[in-house]
Amino acid sequence: MKTARPMSVAGYLFVGPAMLYLGVFTLLPMVVAAYLSVHRWHLLKPDRPFVGWDNYRRLLEDPFFVNAIRNTVVFTALSVPLGIAIALAAAVLLNRGLPGIRVFRTIFYVPSVCSQVALSMIWIWVTLPHVGFVNWLVGSANALLGTSFATDVNYLQRFPMISVVLLFIWNGLGPRMVIFLAGLQNIPETLYEAARVDGASGWQRFRYVTLPLLMPTTFFIVVTTTIAALQIFTPIYVMTQGGPNRATDVVVFHIYKEAWHKFHIGQASAMSYVLFSIILTISLLQFWAMKRRSDMIAESA
């Protein structure tokens, strides 16, 4: 008992700065936002009455907020499975003892080191009509094959959601791939040897050895990627401003506009809480599914 006290003091000292940070920059703002969300709080109006659930009730009547939720769901549903599948494929490809493999790992990681704003600017250029990279590719193909596909397509205007999804996947590829790589390297080689002895094909080894043993890693990536996708903001702000015609108006961008273009701080806080509830629910569901799965495995074992 006597040694426990200094130990715990040291422990608190270690977590202290992090707790302070969490308290000041996360918990406190959450409490303040909860307070704001039940008040009509215009940035510049001195009159800030308590309105109860009114801000939340209004959200249901706001067709643009409903649209933002729908866009966010579509964005997440597209970008999470695709982003994870591509990262896993890249990790498997890069998890080989080839010479110079580290160079490739670095190259794949580079987009994640760049600022999202810079990446978004590059992505705008990629999608531009005539001078953009995609149209340049099409133009080169035309010249090579004698075809005449259009090179004046503004891909960002034509496929706004897909454009942003692709950027998100590209941007987040690095960290996801590295985590997958770490997971892959934790799988003992002996298991693959055993599988090989049993006559398992490459696909079977991936399906019955790699995937199940990678489950904890995959779970972590699914949860974090889902949260990141639900909170997408920067590329939307830089590339589309929610357009064309609100086709990419996602929840966080909508909140930003509500707060800083319309100055409806109370309304924006209510939106934040709705998004928070959605994220919390989805994350809890994911944890529940994961636990159910591991319970089933434990039972069958």
Partner 1 sequence: MRSEFERRHPGVRIQIENIPGEGQYVPKLLMMFVAKKAPDVMHLDASYASVFIDNDLLLDLTPEIKSDDSFRLDDYFTNVVDVARRGDKLFAIPLDFTPIVLYYNKRLFDEAKVAYPAKGWNCDDFLAKAKALTIDNHKEPGKKQYGMHFINWMPLWIPWVWTEGGDVLSPDGRHAEGYFDSDKTIRAVEFLASLITKYHVAPTHSEAAAAGVDLFRAGRAAMHIAGHWMIIDYRSDGIDFGVAMLPTNAASPKTVVYESGLAINRSTKKRELAWEYVKFMTSAEVQKVRVSGGLAISAQKEVAQYYASDEQERTFLNAVEFASGPWGARVEPYAVVEDLGREMMEDIVNGTPVPDAVHKTCRLIDLELSQQ
Q: Catalog residues that contact partner 1 under the rule CB under 8 A.
A: 42-45, 58, 61-63, 129-131, 152-154, 157-158, 244-246, 260-264, 267
- Nearer to partner 1 among residue 8 and residue 241 (C-beta): 241
State the minimum distance, in angstroms, from the CB of residue 147 to partner 1.
17
Residue 3 or residue 147: which is nearer to partner 1 going by CB? Answer: 147
Between 41 and 108, CB nearer to partner 1: 41
CB of 58 to partner 1, least distance (A): 8
153 or 169: CB nearest partner 1: 153
- Least distance from partner 1 to the Cβ atom of residue 270, Å: 12
Task: Report which of 142, 132, 156, 168 is spatially closest to residue 242, judged by C-alpha positions.
Answer: 156
62 or 200: CB nearest partner 1: 62
Calculate the alpha carbon distances from 37 to 41, 67, 147, 199 in Å: 8, 20, 57, 61
Cis peptide bond upstream of 81, omega within 30: no
Q: Which is nearer to partner 1, 11 or 244 (CB)?
A: 244
C-alpha to C-alpha distance for 229 and 78, rounded to whole angstroms: 10
Choice between 64 and 208, CB closer to partner 1: 64
Q: What does the angle CA 258 – CA 263 – CA 266 come to, to the nearest 5 degrees?
A: 75
Residue type, 34: A
Q: What phi and psi values does residue 39 have, to the nearest 5 degrees?
A: -125, 150
Task: Work out how close the CB of 61 gets to partner 1 at its nearest, in angstroms, rounded to a whole number.
Answer: 8
DSSP tally for the chain: helices H, then strands E: 16, 0
Q: CA–CA separation, 158 vs 168, rounded Å?
A: 18
Q: How far is the CB of 166 from partner 1 (least distance, A)?
A: 20
Q: Are 177 and 83 in contact (CB under 8 A)?
A: no
DSSP symbol at 39: B
Residue 142 dihedral angles phi and psi, to the nearest 5°: -60, -45
Query: Which residues have C-beta within 8 Å of that of residue 279, sequence separation ≥ 6?
Result: 226, 227, 230, 231
Minimum distance from CB of 154 to partner 1 (Å)? 5
Bridge partners of 281, per DSSP, are none
Rounded to whole angstroms, the Cα distance separating 280 from 247 reads 25
- Residue number with CB closer to partner 1 (59 or 169): 59
Q: Least CB distance from residue 189 to partner 1, whole Å?
A: 54
Least Å distance, CB 241 to partner 1, is: 9
